[in-house]
């Protein structure tokens, strides 16, 4: 009877409320019996305890497992493969779950949507958070930077260490009692003062769960690695006397690929794609290997590279520096003059690079036909362009978005913005890396007779999202471009045609952005489904083992299979593929965050300045405008457009004035004034200017003032 009553209570209850409702506030024996009954129901799972210590009946519904996606409003959605729609979780039902956590949630159907309560935190996504320390005489808290973290972290005095009030710190959550509103933690590291370049860059890395320094044990292990080239020479194919070149950015410090070329009879060429033999120095399960596996990738922020491998390896032993003998894993091709592959060989080599080129130097040779090693450079250029033409003829999709780069002073402050162009010198290197990656994948991945392909690590890319393609075609038509997409390679051909047509127009950036959003994210997997964007049936990453752990896995597997080894178990490698894909995404997010920060920093002294721009996005909250001269994006809040009430027309990617009918649409040319810069949020606010260059907020205010004067005159006449 008591159990049924307890399970019938609809709202969470505490013991005092329960004793009052049962009229046993002064009966200790009866209270003990009720307490025992409550505890028994909790153990049986029929009651659950809330974070504030109250109890409630377990919901009648379905229990699913998923990932928490926390919103800036404090509520969350749980994404799960067990549900076609996301599950809404109100703040009070989160049970201390945080963004990214894997949780179990009980789901119920409400008149509006599926809602749920978190009943178990299966796995925490993270325990470290970046924030600003606030100290008082007897207490300290860390206020997290992340918009996904809605509670402060209490820091006991003994765990504050040397951190000072107002400093940016990394805090580690140590405990979060069920009844506590805030977690308890300790200071794991002091990053510095807000606004300091190193502090902000380290904060970005820490925010995305990325390391910003090596453990001393890993550094020591790297220092102990011995160079053993002499012992290796008899075991390897020797390319030291064949012309070999590296081509990299001017500021590159590690060189993990080199190209060799020599002419053969009959107009044929021997092309060597030589990749640093990292796996010769980084052995499985070593301290260096475990750290590289954990990091999975190097991270490229605006002002620095955070390497996957310690500097002794990445910039020293493994780096293919000129005039030094280096160990490589190579893909060697015999090509005819049209870049058709006539023969290929894969194996361990030794090289000696003759010259270290920058992309700019190679481009100068391509343009002028003159310079050091011009014969080899021009031949490589011709072969690369033939490979490129064949790739696009086969359906490869070409995106040529300009990448923002900054000129940085010695203090890390941005003093200029420029854009990296995709020149033929970049294409030269890219096409030969693509050839090597594809050929390695085909060697292992293509079935040999009846034999099942061996387990391998592929770089895969699924077909575009059909709904997003429809949206792209709709927006393109709104901007005056007719396009409709078919299926398979027809989609890629139509995409290429559209991208080619809009190149150089005001719609280029918008349509390229939307086209990119149509594409699935490339990832690593042992299940080969091909690479849609490149139009390759088999593709892998073989060419950058200094900066990508999947390439290390590929090198080890390729060596094993070339020696006749048996296939490995797929499950272990699939788990590593998922981890590498996840870390790649986090590194990309960190890179974008560093760019946003530097863009905001660059615009700090430009408040009040006016610019021409293009509308790059529209939302319910405002209009994104990209400044034409530097591609820096900011938002015009809809509430700042005072001359009318504007609403978001989602179907047509525009905002519309309800009274005037005035519209702001993707791709529109506009004038803006920079109104504010928020460094903490990495955000820029702009004010829209009207056709005469006046501030629309001021125009609206003046119009109201005039209207009030007219109204006043009319009132006087009537009186």
Nearest to 396 by CA among 435, 447, 344, 429: 435
Claim to verify: residue 576 and residue 612 sit in the same structural domain: no
Tell me, what DSSP letter sits at residue 628? T
Claim to verify: residue 72 and residue 92 sit in the same structural domain: yes
Q: List all residues 6 or more positions away from 212 whose beta carbon is below 8 Å from its beta carbon.
A: 201, 202, 205, 206, 306
What is the predicted pLDDT for the residue at 168? Answer: 94
Conformation bin of residue 369: beta by default, left when phi > 0, alpha when psi is -120 to 50:
left
What is the predicted pLDDT for the residue at 58? Answer: 67
**Per-residue pLDDT tens over the stretch 579-619:** 999 999 999 999 999 999 999 999 999 999 999 998 988 99
Task: State which of 42, 57, 72 marks the end of a domain.
Answer: 57
Query: Above 60 in pLDDT, residue 701?
Result: no
Claim to verify: residue 396 and residue 260 sit in the same structural domain: yes
Is 444 part of any domain? no
Is 463 part of any domain? yes
What is the predicted pLDDT for the residue at 697? Answer: 53
Claim to verify: residue 391 and residue 514 sit in the same structural domain: no
Which stretch of 53-67, 86-100, 529-543, 663-677 has the lowest confidence by average pLDDT? Answer: 53-67
**Number of helices (H), then strands (E), in the chain:** 18, 33
Which has the higher per-residue pLDDT, 267 or 514?
267
- When pLDDT is cut at 50, 70 and 90, the band that residue 694 belongs to is low
**Per-residue pLDDT tens over the stretch 193-240:** 998 999 999 999 998 989 989 999 999 999 999 887 888 999 999 999
Query: Above 70 in pLDDT, residue 672?
Result: yes
Indicate the number of domains in the chain: 6
Which residue range forms the structural domain that includes residue 21? 2-57
Is 208 part of any domain? no
CATH number at residue 143: 2.40.50.700
Q: Which runs of consecutive H residues, i.e. helices, occur in 544-682?
A: 549-562, 570-602
What is the predicted pLDDT for the residue at 488? Answer: 59
What is the predicted pLDDT for the residue at 50? Answer: 73
- When pLDDT is cut at 50, 70 and 90, the band that residue 702 belongs to is very low
**Per-residue pLDDT tens over the stretch 135-192:** 987 889 999 988 889 999 999 999 998 999 999 999 999 999 888 899 999 999 999 9
What radius of gyration, in Å, describes the C-alpha atoms of the chain? Answer: 31
Claim to verify: residue 44 and residue 67 sit in the same structural domain: no
What is the predicted pLDDT for the residue at 693? Answer: 58
Task: State which of 596, 626, 655 marks the end of a domain.
Answer: 596
Instruction: Give dist(CA 560, CA 452) in Å, integer.
Output: 16
Claim to verify: residue 542 and residue 652 sit in the same structural domain: no
Claim to verify: residue 484 and residue 463 sit in the same structural domain: yes
**Per-residue pLDDT tens over the stretch 532-555:** 999 999 999 999 999 999 999 999
Is 613 part of any domain? yes
Q: Over pLDDT 90: what percentage of the chain? A: 61
- When pLDDT is cut at 50, 70 and 90, the band that residue 489 belongs to is low
Q: Over pLDDT 70: what percentage of the chain? A: 94
Q: What is the mean pLDDT of the chain?
A: 89
Claim to verify: residue 333 and residue 190 sit in the same structural domain: no
Task: State which of 123, 142, 160 marks the end of a domain.
Answer: 123
Query: Above 50 in pLDDT, residue 716?
Result: no
Query: Above 60 in pLDDT, residue 708?
Result: no
- When pLDDT is cut at 50, 70 and 90, the band that residue 5 belongs to is confident
| DSSP of 518-577 | HSPPPEEESS---BTTTTBSS----S-TTTBHHHHHHHHHHHHHHTTPPPPPHHHHHHHH
CA distances from 72 to 148, 181, 290 (A): 6, 18, 35
Tell me, what DSSP letter sits at residue 448? B
Which stretch of 46-50, 206-210, 379-383 has the lowest confidence by average pLDDT? Answer: 46-50
Query: Above 80 in pLDDT, residue 469?
Result: yes
| DSSP of 307-326 | -SS-HIIIIIISS--TTSEE
**Per-residue pLDDT tens over the stretch 278-329:** 999 999 999 999 999 999 999 999 999 999 999 999 999 999 999 999 999 9
Which has the higher per-residue pLDDT, 696 or 482?
482
Instruction: Give dist(CA 205, CA 207) in Å, integer.
Output: 5
What is the predicted pLDDT for the residue at 692? Answer: 60
What is the predicted pLDDT for the residue at 60? Answer: 61
Which has the higher per-residue pLDDT, 67 or 477?
67
Claim to verify: residue 693 and residue 665 sit in the same structural domain: yes
Query: Above 80 in pLDDT, residue 61?
Result: no
**Per-residue pLDDT tens over the stretch 334-351:** 999 999 999 999 999 999
Is 608 part of any domain? yes
What is the predicted pLDDT for the residue at 487? Answer: 64
Is 716 part of any domain? no
User: Rounded to 10 degrees, what is the CA torsion of 693, 682, 680, 597?
Assistant: -120
Is 655 part of any domain? yes
Q: How much is the average pLDDT of 523-529?
A: 96
Is 84 part of any domain? yes
What is the predicted pLDDT for the residue at 486? Answer: 66
Claim to verify: residue 179 and residue 234 sit in the same structural domain: no
**What SS3 state is found at 206?**
helix
Claim to verify: residue 18 and residue 87 sit in the same structural domain: no
CATH number at residue 692: 2.40.50.140
Claim to verify: residue 387 and residue 284 sit in the same structural domain: yes
- When pLDDT is cut at 50, 70 and 90, the band that residue 19 belongs to is confident
CATH number at residue 10: 1.10.10
């Amino acid at each position: 009877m008591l159990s049924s009553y307890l399970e019938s209570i609809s709202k969470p209850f505490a013991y005092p409320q329960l004793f009052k409702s049962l009229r046993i506030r002064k009966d200790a024996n009866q209270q003990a019996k009720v307490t025992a009954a409550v505890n028994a129901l909790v153990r049986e799972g029929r009651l659950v305890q809330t974070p504030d210590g109250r109890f409630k009946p377990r919901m009648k519904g379905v229990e699913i497992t998923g990932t928490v996606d926390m919103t800036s409003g404090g509520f969350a959605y749980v994404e799960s493969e067990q549900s076609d729609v996301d599950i809404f979780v109100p703040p009070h039902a989160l049970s201390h779950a945080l963004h990214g956590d894997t949780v179990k949630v009980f789901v119920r159907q409400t008149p509006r949507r599926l809602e749920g309560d978190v009943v178990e935190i299966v796995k925490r996504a993270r325990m470290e958070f970046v924030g600003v320390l606030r100290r008082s005489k007897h207490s300290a808290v860390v206020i997290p930077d992340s918009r996904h973290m809605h509670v402060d972290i209490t820091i006991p005095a003994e765990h504050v260490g040397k951190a000072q009030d107002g400093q940016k710190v990394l805090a580690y959550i140590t405990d979060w009692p069920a009844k506590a509103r805030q977690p308890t933690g300790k200071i794991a590291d002091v990053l510095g003062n807000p606004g300091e370049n190193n502090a902000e860059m380290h904060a970005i890395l820490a925010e995305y769960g990325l390391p910003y320094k090596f453990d001393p044990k890993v550094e020591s292990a790297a220092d102990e690695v011995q160079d053993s080239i002499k012992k290796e020479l008899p075991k390897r194919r020797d390319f030291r006397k064949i012309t070999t070149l590296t081509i990299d950015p001017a500021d590159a410090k590690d060189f993990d690929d080199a190209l060799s070329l020599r002419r053969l009879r009959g107009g044929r060429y021997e092309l060597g794609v030589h990749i640093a033999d990292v796996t010769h120095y980084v052995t499985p399960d070593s301290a260096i290997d475990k750290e590289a596996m954990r990091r999975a990738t190097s991270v490229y922020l605006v002002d620095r590279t955070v390497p996957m491998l310690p500097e002794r390896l990445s910039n020293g032993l493994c780096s293919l520096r000129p005039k030094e003998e280096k160990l490589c894993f190579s893909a060697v091709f015999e090509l005819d003059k049209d870049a058709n592959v006539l023969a290929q060989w894969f194996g361990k080599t030794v090289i000696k690079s003759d010259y270290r080129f920058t992309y700019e130097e190679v481009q100068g040779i391509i343009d002028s036909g003159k310079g050091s090693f011009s014969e080899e450079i021009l031949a490589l250029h011709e072969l690369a362009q033939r490979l490129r033409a064949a790739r696009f003829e086969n359906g490869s999709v070409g995106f040529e978005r300009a990448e923002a780069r900054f000129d940085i002073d010695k203090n890390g402050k941005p003093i200029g913005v420029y854009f990296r162009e995709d020149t033929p010198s970049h294409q030269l290197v890219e096409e030969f890396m693509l050839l090597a990656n594809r050929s390695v994948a085909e060697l292992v991945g293509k079935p040999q007779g009846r034999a099942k392909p061996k387990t391998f690590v592929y770089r895969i890319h699924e077909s575009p999202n059909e709904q997003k393609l429809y949206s792209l075609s709709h927006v393109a038509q709104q901007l005056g471009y007719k396009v409709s997409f078919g299926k398979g390679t027809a989609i890629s051909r139509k995409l290429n045609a559209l991208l080619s047509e809009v190149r150089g127009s005001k719609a280029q950036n918008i349509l390229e952005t939307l086209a990119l959003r149509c594409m699935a994210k490339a990832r690593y997997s042992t299940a080969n489904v091909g690479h849609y964007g490149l139009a390759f049936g088999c593709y892998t990453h073989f060419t950058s083992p200094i900066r990508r752990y999947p390439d290390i896995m590929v090198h080890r597997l390729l060596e094993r299979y070339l020696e006749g080894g048996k296939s490995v178990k797929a499950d272990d490698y699939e788990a590593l593929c998922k981890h590498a894909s996840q870390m790649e995404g986090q590194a990309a997010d960190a890179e974008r965050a560093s760019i946003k920060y530097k863009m905001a920093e660059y615009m700090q002294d430009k408040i009040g300045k006016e610019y021409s721009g293009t509308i790059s996005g529209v939302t319910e909250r405002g209009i994104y405008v990209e400044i034409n001269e530097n591609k820096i994006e900011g938002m015009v809040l809809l509430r700042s457009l005072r001359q009318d009430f504007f609403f978001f027309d989602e179907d047509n990617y525009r905002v519309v004035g309800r009274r005037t009918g005035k519209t702001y649409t993707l791709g529109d040319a506009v004038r803006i004034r920079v109104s504010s810069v928020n460094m903490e949020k990495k955000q820029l606010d702009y004010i829209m200017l009207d056709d005469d260059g006046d501030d629309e907020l001021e125009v609206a205010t003046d119009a109201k003032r005039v209207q009030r004067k007219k109204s006043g005159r009319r009132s006087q006449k009537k009186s």
